[in-house]
């Protein structure tokens, strides 16, 4: 084949088809490259995502373990605290019983102790008895009732020592005693016990049961003045002496 035949075979149409063929090949290459890149990225994501999710899972797992450990620790502390509270309640109960027993023992032993002897304010203590020397005057009847209102009696003399004490305390003032013959005509103490007459304790010529005064009636009540007894009308106002036990 000669050169002319070759030239005759080469036509522009043939060159244009070649260009199209190259263009199509290049497009297919780009497409393949894009697919490869896409696959590579997808594969990378598939590889990385489990790693990220695995890290989150591990953190959640660690957090759960921490919460679980903290819960167990709190539960343990609460359990120990409940035990301590229970122990303290038992000790408190035992202490209350001990205090109650001690109180009962103290009360029991206190009841066995001798009571302190004492008198109210304004009273005088002598030989385990309290004496009240009034500062105001009253009839024998009012004096008797006043002593009773104070849980006492109008004075009843029982022995010589008491007589000396009363005389010492009553010098210069007349005081009613709990002695009268108004009820039976015989001298007796206000509590009904008999009086044993001792003339040496009376003023000379007394008691005389005198009725010559203007009051009316006779002298039926006794008072003590300067260490001596005398009878007078029971309505006369004198100071008086009460006697009581502490």
Tens of pLDDT, residues 27-79: 676 676 777 767 777 666 666 666 566 677 787 888 888 888 888 888 888 88
State the average pLDDT over residues 120-134: 95
Domain spans of the chain, in order of start: 3-112, 124-244
- The residues that bridge with 125 in the sheet, in sequence order, are 130
Cα separation, 220 vs 117, whole angstroms? 35
Residue 10 has what pLDDT? Answer: 44
Residue 115 has what pLDDT? Answer: 57
Does 3.10.100.10 match the CATH number of domain 124-244?
yes
Residue 17 has pLDDT above 90, yes or no: no
Residue 141 has what pLDDT? Answer: 98
Q: DSSP characters for 180-233?
A: E-TTTSS-EETTSPBP---GGGBPTT-------SSS-S---EEEEETTEEEEE-
**Tens-digit pLDDT profile for residues 140-152:** 999 999 999 999 9
Beta-strand ranges (E) seen in the chain are: 124-126, 129-133, 153-154, 175-180, 188-189, 221-225, 228-232, 239-244
Cα separation, 225 vs 234, whole angstroms? 15
Residue 224 has what pLDDT? Answer: 96
Q: Which residues contact 245 (CB under 8 A, 6 or more apart)?
A: 128, 129, 130
Helix (H, G, I), strand (E, B) or coil at 153: strand
pTM value is 0.54
């Amino acid at each position: 084949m000669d050169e002319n035949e070759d030239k005759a075979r080469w036509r522009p149409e043939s060159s244009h088809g070649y260009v199209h063929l190259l263009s199509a090949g290049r497009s297919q290459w780009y497409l393949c490259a894009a697919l490869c890149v896409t696959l590579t990225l997808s594969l990378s994501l598939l590889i990385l995502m489990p790693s990220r999710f695995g890290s989150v899972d591990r953190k959640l797992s660690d957090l759960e373990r921490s919460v679980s450990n903290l819960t167990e620790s709190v539960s343990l502390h609460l359990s120990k605290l409940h035990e301590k509270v229970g122990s303290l309640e038992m000790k408190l109960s035992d202490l209350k019983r001990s205090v109650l027993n001690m109180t009962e023992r103290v009360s029991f032993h206190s009841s066995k102790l001798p009571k302190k002897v004492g008198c109210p304010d304004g009273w005088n203590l002598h030989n385990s008895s309290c004496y009240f020397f009034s500062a105001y005057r009253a009839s024998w009847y009012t004096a008797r009732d006043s002593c009773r209102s104070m849980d006492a009696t109008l004075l009843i003399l029982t022995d010589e020592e008491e007589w000396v004490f009363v005389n010492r305390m009553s010098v210069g003032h007349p005081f009613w005693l709990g002695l009268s013959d108004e009820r039976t005509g015989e001298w007796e103490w206000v509590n009904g016990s008999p009086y044993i007459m001792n003339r040496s304790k009376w003023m000379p010529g007394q008691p005389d049961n005198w009725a010559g005064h203007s009051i009316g009636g006779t002298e039926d009540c006794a008072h003590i003045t300067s260490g001596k007894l005398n009878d007078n009308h029971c309505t006369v106002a004198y100071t008086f002496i009460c006697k009581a036990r502490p």
